[in-house]
Structure 1
Amino acid sequence: MLSIRRSASAFVAVAIGVALVAAATLLLASGRPQVPDRLARAAVVVQSPEAGAAADSFVPTRPWSTAVAATLVTRLAALPGVTAAVPDRTFYAQPLVDGRPPAVDSRREDAHQGHGWSSAQLGGLRPATGEPPRNADEVVLDRALGLRTGAPVTVLTASGPRPYTVSGLVDAPGVHVADEVAAELAPGVRAIGLLLSSDADPEEVAVAARGVVGGDGRVLTGDERGALEPRGDARSRWIGMQVLTATAVLAGFVTVFVVASTFAFSVGQRRRELGLLRAVGATGRQVRRMVYAEALVVGSAGGVVGLLVGAALAPVVAGLLVDAGLEPATYAVRYHLWPVAVSLVAGPAIALLAVWSASRRAARVRPLEALREAAGEQRPIGRARAVSGALLVTTGVALSIGTATADQARIAAQYALYAVMALVAGATVLAPVVVGPVVRLLRSPVRLRGGAIGMLVRGAALTATRRTAAIAAPVLLTVAFAVLVSGMVRTTSAAYAAGRADNVNAGWIVLPDSGPGLSDAAVAETGGTALLPTTVYRTDPGAALPANRPLTALGVDPAGFAAANRVLTVVAGSLDDLRGDDTVAVTAATNLRPSAPYEVVFADGTTVSLRVVAVVTDDSLPGDLLLPRAVVRTHDPSALTSTVYVRDRIAPPVGARVVDVATWAAEADAAEDRLVWLFTVLLIGVSAGYGAIAVANTLVLAAAGRAADLRLIRLAGATRRQVVWLVTAESALVVLIGALLGGAVAFVGLLGIRAGLAEQVGAPVDLVVPWTVVGAVVGLCLLLAVLASVLPTWRSLRRGPGRSPLGVVA
């Protein structure tokens, strides 16, 4: 009973799905955080307390102050088995070569980081040439920069350029200065590495260290030290994990969809065959077992092939993910057992799940089906199906209204996705009813009114509405998903950029160029209004320990910030009082009033009780609170300015560039938007590929079942070219119907998203649809549809108009 021709399409779908699942799970298993090279020799690392933030915020831990860190270092160094306890200090430092920052990989944070020389022993780093820095004006640099020992060099720091002398060179990126200089530039400490004697047990030392630290930190050993990887690497790794997880889930879901449609169509074509089995005594249960057995064979074979293909593709995909910024530069594929097991199980499981509905339909075939010469024409859809479709469409419309009235973009996006899912399901259920009106509507535009070919195409679509709807359904789903997701991403990005630009009262924006931020010296050259961001940690005086809630604080000049911010609205107090070393302006969400105390921990680890002098609306700040710029600089010597607003275009200082407000607004989330768009294109590619495969599978099976009809057309006088044109036109019409229905469904969701965004940003929002992506999706479906229908037809027509595939004269 198992036909290679019928099962080939399902085998291909399963193999591709398992290949994606195998590659994604292998890459997921390889995505564990890596221990930074500069801490590799520290068998035990004590980390400062975690910030109470969401897993996807990637804020640094709350630092210890210099005094607390010194006490911990002394106590930890006295533990048995510990030969040295070294505080690791990290700060911004960027050497200049020939007056310019050297070309480095901007994704590597260590290219812009400085450390005290004592930290070098935590990674086993030693000078390749020269000596360690012993004086405040000496520095050790990466040998790859091309500098020589004894040469003068300028190093950019947060305060501005500093002159140094190269005392030594190492084979690692970064800047290494004397420990007293590092303590000045980074007074807060977030990690203390412990070097152990050769006979010490790291786990025993870790237990003793936990007794010293208590609740004011974490003690890490082994792979746990990966928690100390750079925040940028952690963020890239997290994004990559989301991409791979979504790809694996989507691949499994769409594979079930494709295989289910393939088996359903196959069962429909084998009704006479199944009826013969029932006529000779086969029970419904035996028929169902037969279909399940076929699915198990196809799924197992496809699973094995998919696993081999996925394992071979995983290293290639890993390289692409690193190049795209979806994984850090340290990412590498490691083969583990559980992804192999999951992939081997996935093939049969997907096939058995997909064939469930088809097996039930096969079991209900009656013995009289064997006596039918031809399949009966499709019946109109039943009442239950009509009611279900109407309910789904109604639900989709209601969710679209919810999208337009949602207060938050995240909720609006969820409503839009649910709305399109409901509308797609409703359109698929009601497709046999909708196909007729759509075909009649398209008669003139696609020239189906005149000619014998046009009459046959139109007649086939109108009479075989269930078949037309079944073939159009994958196109509908694919186009709807592509239009909704791509349009939502582009429209949202454009809307937020427009709102961001509308909020700024400036002519030009000064931004960092080839660096993470601007120094104080560069800001002073601009003469504009600057934002100096830092992370502070909100404490809870009523709790036993600080809550460590991270907040983004902006160091500003109050008058300049008020003039540059169009949406700034003070609801209590006055920004004129934002001066001194103990004042803060907060948002209304804090439920505080002027003069209320506000206690925070700064980047240097010191706890300061501030006094609220102003309360502003929640949408007034591009952060959480405002501080005097001098306060931020005092407590965070390594903070860098992110943005400077200026009235007129100026010559940019070293390490800076000047852009207009519109460009700045578009670039503000450019890195995030790029990753989101890559994620979107990947998901669209997976869904579009499977949608095209589903269309091709269905058309291949349909072409095999229509061989007799096509021979009859040849006997009526049609040429081979006319028959090929007939099936080509039918395929194009079906793809067009699916594309129109899918596009209409997605536009309903996009209109709701646009209305909600316009309400949020307070300005008109243009609907942005990437027609290139949509055209590519439709073109792929059309190409595979035409090939899947034309090639089998051309092959069957080579036998001549009066001869069947078995060689019997018709």
Structure 2
Amino acid sequence: MLGAFVAVAVGVTLVSLSTLLLASGLPQVPDRLTAAAVMVQSPVVSSPADPFPEPRPWSSRTAADLADRLAAIAGVTTAVPDRTFYIQVVTDGRPAPAMVHGHGWASSQLGTDRLAAGTPPRRDSEVVVDRATGLSPGSAVTLLTATGPAAYTVSGVVDGTGIYVTDAVAATMAPGVRAIGLVLRPDADVARVTEAARAVVGTEGRVLTGDARSAFEPREDARTRWIGTQILTAVATLAGFVSVFVVASTFAFNVTQRRRELGLLRAIGATPRQVRRMLYREAVVVGGAAALVGVVLGAALAPLVGDLLVDAGIEPATYQVRFLVWPVAASFAVGPVVALLGAASAARRAARVRPLEALRAAAVEPRPMTRARWISGALAAAGGLAGAVGTATTDDVQDGAALALYSAMALVVAAALLAPAFIAPLVWLLAWPFARGRGATGMLVRESVLTAARRTAGCAAPVLLTVGFAVMVSGMVQTSTEAYAARRFAAINAGSVVAPDNTPGLTDAVVAAVPGAALLPTTVYADGAEPLTALGVDPAAFAASRNRFAVVAGALTGLAGGDTVVVTQSVAERLGWRLGQTVPVTFADGRLTLLRVVAMVSNESAPGELLLPRAVVRAHDPSALTSAILVDAPVPLPPGSGARVVDVATYAAEVDSEEDRLVWVFTVLLIGVSAGYGAIAVANTLLMSAVNRQGDHRVLRLSGATGRQVAWAVAAEAALVVAIGALLGGAVAVIALLSIREGLSEQVNAPVDLVVPWPTMGAVVATCLVLAVVASVLPTRRTRLRSRE
């Protein structure tokens, strides 16, 4: 039972580790808002495309009026409209990537940033920066804003990461307001202030206190935290599934090897119920002991892994691991439950062992494929194929990924259940070269595997699991990454691209210096509710830079002036917009504007949902940054501009490079979990098999075989078992990858090449082979020694 113990212990370790990290990963109140006991947030919106949309902003006038009414509440010292905008310090001629958010000086009252030296900014050319920049009061500093580089004087420094300008400058850079902080008197009643604030705000926003203020966590931190949650949840889920699978395989193999022992128990009067109870008790003991080890290891490893997650960018810098009792208790319960689930099928089969089994001396197994195994395998295969069809036909990215994972799980189970039925043809195919050689080794290996089809299937199951998941997961990630990059590449008609360099985007100064098709993204709100991605463009230059640009209604030339808009087909259908219709749209400055739909374009025509004149976007969103400039050829760039020139293929691959990196980290973790379990199961299963077959090995030695010949035969049989598992696992992975490819073709509306991760497959199969051979050959040394005696 060592293998089951190790599998459950590793599983509980991963589950307890993941749950502790998940429980610690709850959103945090930003440090810069902790001094505001009550926060008021602008109206929350929802988006089907973005799980973290920014709330719809108030206009400057609305925010000022609301702040005045909130400041009049008893117990409120001041109500501060909090403005956030892009601003970046330039050091040594390059933008410093760590600090990209600026605020008005009044916002410093809401948090912990206090002046360490100097004075607050009083003139529009003054700024307060973090002392960590090495700047001191009176120093000259260049700041990048949406308009370009600007010269400022440092009036003071703070112990924090904020960059503060005058409130007048902040109002110019961010006219829209999404938050108002209330600073209270020390003796104020927070509950009464909160109720009064809600009466003032009404439906114009929501009032938050305590931990609910974590809703103001920066979007990038929230997105990073969400990615970390998805990764940890998937690791915990996969750990639980694989633990059950490995334990089930171990117990099933153990029951097969103990048939004579179980038959003897039945012969001396043990009832089927007593046999089942014995197996269940063994499972509970193994699961409980392994769970105890697992929760201790998980709790010990959590702080270390938490630091690694922060370093890898999977959790934000504010993330800290907290020790909580409930994740540990819940994880401990997982151990016995996983062990019982894994042992359930084996216990039922053990109860059916007849007393006469104790008298059997032959190693020939009973019928390898029972009716229940056929039915269960067929149902699992049907479910897996249905999931594969769903993956191939869906056009939703998240649904496709989930269906692919569930489909692969079902197909792995089906392959493991139906494996004995495929053993004979696979053995004849794989053993044919060995059987034609001199000597009896090839024939001996082939017949041994054929005679014990169920044992062979049990030994091949962990290899099947390991190869199937590793190849499927890595192939899915690589295929989807290349598919999306290929779609972006095919859509662009340009020679080169000017892209950001250590900045979130490009400034107007870069756009003015570079002739080309510039893309200025912003977020607008349809009917004041649904957020939409809009691009400020020059219509003619933009159309010329797109290979798949197609106007389906109206004319692009109508995109002129401050009251026109071009929409994609999907947006028009979803919102019911028609050509020539005037629609209300709220911009980033909080102002509601009526726009006339002058054209509709295909969904592939633009990387956004709306097209607007660039001047309109700039007028309503002073801090918007250009995402890229499409140019015909490489162009010179001004120094310190935060821009670089790349070819189109590089740009297409780098657009989602950070997300792709995090996804690959996710992939490596999943492969590590599945491969680690596979390694445990392979070594344990084949070691158990070899130990229980020492009698066969002694017979071979007494028949004249040398120790080396026995070792070679055992190694060859182990290699054959690994080959069978690898073929079945590869087949499962290919089916899943083919469905993923078809699904991606539907999403990107173009043919997608299937990426088979041969290096991953080779590494996993080689690892399984080494472990299998070592675990099988080691017990033969004991056989050699006993034979000599």
Do both share a fold (TM > 0.5)? yes
* Alpha-carbon distance in structure 2 between the residues aligned to 1:382 and 1:182: 75
Counterpart of 1:3?
Answer: none
Q: Residue 650 of structure 2 is aligned with which of 638, 644, 663?
A: 663
Letter in 1 for 2:505: G
Aligned to 1:357: 345
Q: Could you tell me which residue of structure 1 aligns to residue 664 of structure 2?
A: 677
Compute the displacement of 1:299 (Å): 0.9
What is the rounded CA distance, in whole Å, between the counterparts of 2:693 and 2:781 in structure 1? 13
Answering whether residue 358 of structure 2 is matched by residue 370 of structure 1, we say: yes
In 2, are the aligned partners of 1:448 and 1:458 still within 8 Å (CA)? no
The equivalent position to 1:562 in structure 2, one of 530, 537, 543, is 543
- Residue in 2 that maps onto 1:480: 468
Q: How does 1:190-209 map to 2 (within 5 A)?
A: 190-209=178-197
Q: 1:293 to 1:532 in 2, by over 3 A?
A: same
**CA–CA separation in structure 2 for the residues paired with 1:616 and 1:39:** 43
In structure 2, the residue corresponding to 1:193 is in which secondary structure?
Answer: strand
**Superposed displacement of residue 319, structure 1:** 1.4
**SS of equivalent to 1:214:** helix
Equivalent residue, structure 2, for 1:499: 487
Q: 1:198 to 1:760 in 2, by over 3 A?
A: closer
* 1:100 equivalent in alignment to 2:81: no
Preserved CA contact (<8 Å) 1:378 1:465: no
Letter in 1 for 2:483: A
Deviation at 1:289, TM superposition (A): 1.4
Structure 1 residue 421 displacement after superposition: 4.2
Tell me, in whole angstroms, the C-alpha distance in 2 between the residues paired with 1:39 and 1:760: 41
Q: Which amino acid aligns with 1:85?
A: A
Partner of 1:32: 26
Query: Given the superposition, is the C-alpha separation of residues 388 and 458 from structure 1 closer, same or farther in structure 2, using an over 3 Å criterion?
Result: same
Equivalent AA in structure 2 for residue 561 of structure 1: F
For residue 616 of structure 2, what is the aligned residue in structure 1? 631
**Residue in structure 2 matched with residue 543 of structure 1 by the alignment:** none
Of 365-374 and 490-499, deviating more is: 365-374
Q: CA deviation at 1:208?
A: 1.2
Q: Once the two structures are superposed, what CA deviation does each residue of 1:599-630 show, in whole Å capped at 9, x if it has no partner?
A: 11111111111111111122222111011111
TM-score (norm 2): 0.95
Pairs within 5 Å for 1:406-421:
406-407=394-395, 413=401, 416-417=404-405, 419-421=407-409
Instruction: Name 1:144's counterpart in structure 2.
Output: 132
Q: Aligned equivalents of 2:493 and 2:82: distance in 1?
A: 41
Question: Deviations for 1:379-402, whole angstroms, at most 9, x for unmatched residues?
Answer: 252456446646655665666566
What one-letter code is carried by the residue in structure 2 that aligns with 1:644?
I
Question: Which aligned pairs between 1:670-749 and structure 2 lie closer than 5 A?
Answer: 670-749=657-736
- Give the AA of the match of 1:329: A
Q: Aligned equivalents of 1:394 and 1:41: distance in 2?
A: 58
Do residues 582 (structure 1) and 563 (structure 2) align?
A: yes
Deviations along 1:28-76, one digit per CA (max 9) or x if unpaired, are: 1101111111111111111111112259521211111111111111111
State the shift of 1:210 in Å. 0.8
Moved more, 62-71 or 120-129: 120-129
Residues 1:530 and 2:524 are matched in the alignment: no
Tell me by how many angstroms 1:755 deviates.
4.0
- Looking at structure 2, the residues matched to 268 and 100 of structure 1 have their Cα atoms a distance apart, in angstroms, of 68
C-alpha distance in 2 between matches for 1:797 and 1:50: 75
Per-residue deviation at 1:295?
1.1
Q: 2:334 aligns with which of 346, 350, 355?
A: 346
Contact map agreement 2:364 2:452 (CA 8 A) in 1: no
Task: Tell me the distance in 2 between the aligned counterparts of 1:47 and 1:397.
Answer: 47
* Within-5 A mapping of 1:59-74: 59-74=53-68
Where structure 2 has 5 or more consecutive residues not aligned to the other structure, the ranges are none
3-state SS, counterpart of residue 613 of structure 1:
strand
Compute the TM-score of the two structures, normalised by the length of structure 1.
0.93
Structure 1 residue 568: Cα displacement: 1.4
Matches of residues 784-803 of structure 1 in structure 2 within 5 Å?
784-801=771-788
Specify every segment of 5 or more residues in structure 1 that has no aligned partner in the other structure, as ranges: 1-6, 106-110, 540-545, 803-810
Corresponding residue for residue 266 of structure 1: 254
What is the alpha-carbon distance in structure 2 between the residues aligned to residue 386 and residue 632 of structure 1?
A: 63
**Partner of residue 154, structure 1:** 142
Query: 1:44: which partner in 2?
Result: 38
The separation in 2 between residues aligned to 1:294 and 1:621, in whole angstroms, is 62
Question: Does 2:595 align with 1:610?
Answer: yes
In structure 2, relative to structure 1, the CA distance for the partners of 1:760 and 1:603 (3 Å cut) is: closer
> 1:754-793 to 2 correspondence within 5 Å?
754-758=741-745, 760-793=747-780
Q: Is 2:232 the partner of 1:244? A: yes
1:634 CA drift (Å): 0.6
Partner of 1:166: 154
SS of match in other structure, 1:381: coil
- Counterpart secondary structure, 2:204: coil
2:553, 2:475 → 1: CA distance?
Answer: 41
Matched to 1:696, the amino acid is A
For residue 672 of structure 1, what is the amino acid of its counterpart? Answer: E
1:66-145 residue pairs with structure 2 within 5 A? Answer: 66-102=60-96, 104-105=97-98, 111-145=99-133
1-side partners of 2:233 and 2:392: how far apart? 29
Distance apart, 1:407 and its partner CA: 4.7
Amino acid of the residue matched to residue 746 of structure 1? A
Distance in 2, Cα, partners of 1:55 & 1:582: 26
Q: Tell me how far apart the structure 1 counterparts of residues 434 and 118 of structure 2 sit (CA, whole Å).
A: 78
The percent identity for this pair of structures is 63
Distance 2:183 2:732 in 1: 62
SS of the counterpart of 1:169? strand
* 8 Å contact kept, 1:56–1:235: no
Cross-structure match for 1:17:
11
How far did residue 100 of structure 1 move? 2.1
* 2-structure distance, mates of 1:435, 1:160: 69
Q: CA deviation at 1:663?
A: 0.6
Corresponding position: 1:326 with 2:326: no
User: Which of 625, 633, 636 matches 1:651?
Assistant: 636
Do residues 424 (structure 1) and 418 (structure 2) align?
A: no
Please give the secondary structure, in 2, of the residue aligned with 1:347: helix
Per the alignment, in what secondary structure is the counterpart of residue 215 of structure 1? helix
Shift of 1:497: 1.1
Equivalent residue letter for 1:738 = G
Structure 2 Cα separation of the partners of residues 242 and 504 of structure 1: 32
Q: Deviations over 1:225-247 (max 9, x none)?
A: 11111100000101111111111
- Aligned residues of 2:148 and 2:508 also touching (Cα < 8 A): yes
Letter paired with 2:110 = L
Secondary structure in structure 2 of the residue aligned to 1:442: helix
Cα distance change of structure 1 residues 414 and 153 upon mapping to structure 2, 3 Å threshold: closer
Correspondences of 1:280-299 after superposition (within 5 Å): 280-299=268-287
What secondary structure is seen at the aligned counterpart in 2 of 1:612? strand
The alpha-carbon deviation at position 184 of structure 1 amounts to 0.6
Q: Distance in 1 between matches of 2:191 and 2:363?
A: 74
Q: State the SS of the aligned residue for 2:420.
A: helix
Q: Structure 1 CA distance, aligned partners of 2:111 and 2:31? A: 6
Aligned partner letter, 1:799: R
RMSD over equivalenced CA pairs, Å: 2.0
1:573 aligns with 2:560: no
What secondary structure, in the 3-state scheme, does the structure 2 residue paired with 1:799 have?
helix
| Structure 2: distance between partners of 1:458 and 1:634 | 78
Aligned to 1:805: none
**d(CA) in 1 for partners of 2:234 and 2:112?**
39
Paired residue for 1:808? none
Greater CA drift, 284-293 or 656-665: 284-293
